[in-house]
Structure 1
Amino acid sequence: MEALCPQCHKAMDYQAEHYHCQPCNSDYQQQAQCPQCQQPLQILKACGAVDYFCQHGHGLISKKSVQFSYQPV
């Protein structure tokens, strides 16, 4: 999945826990959101696996349906 800059819509590079847009010279943090309530998801990491959990009543969320947004760092 390619991360696109929310300002210029160009591809961003992943650098040290955040994304960097070269054309805009801006940094962004990726945030996983529930597809049903658009609230931030809890990220569960174990043994190399990543799972997403909605604390607002929707339970485990499939990786395929997670929506990602990018917030300025």
Structure 2
Amino acid sequence: MAYQIACPACGSEALDPRRSQSECSACHQHFVVTAHCPECDEVLERVQACGAVDFFCNHCNNLVSKRAARYDLRPA
């Protein structure tokens, strides 16, 4: 099962952080997903390879896992 984050509208663990836009499978709200570095709070660059998604912080020059990133969710 893919890693999911909580929906700000209904609270269910239903949003996929690997996408820049995601839909909650429980309440069907659409959100723009922005990942931020847990160290410096800069917006992270998505790095995709062979279906896997991680993030890269250009400020810290580090790879950041999807579990370590901090997410900003805004209604689409």
| TM-score normalised to structure 2 length | 0.63
Cα separation, partners in 2 of 1:27 and 1:57, compared to 1, 3 Å: same
Aligned-pair CA distance for 1:34: 0.5
Partner of 1:59: 62
Partner of 1:5: 7
Tell me whether 28-37 or 2-11 shows the greater mean CA deviation.
2-11
Partner of 1:43: 46
Deviations 1:18-69 (A, max 9, x none): 22362xx632122211101222110110112222100112421133311222
Contact 2:6/2:14 (CA < 8 Å) preserved in 1?
yes
Structure 1 unaligned regions, length at least 5 = none
> What's the % identity of the aligned pairs?
30
Structure 2 unaligned regions, length at least 5 = none
Cα separation, partners in 2 of 1:2 and 1:56, compared to 1, 3 Å: same
The size of the alignment, in residue pairs, is 69
Give the partner amino acid of 1:3.
I
Map 1:24-35 to 2 at 5 A.
Answer: 26-35=29-38
Structure whose alpha-carbon radius of gyration is higher: 1
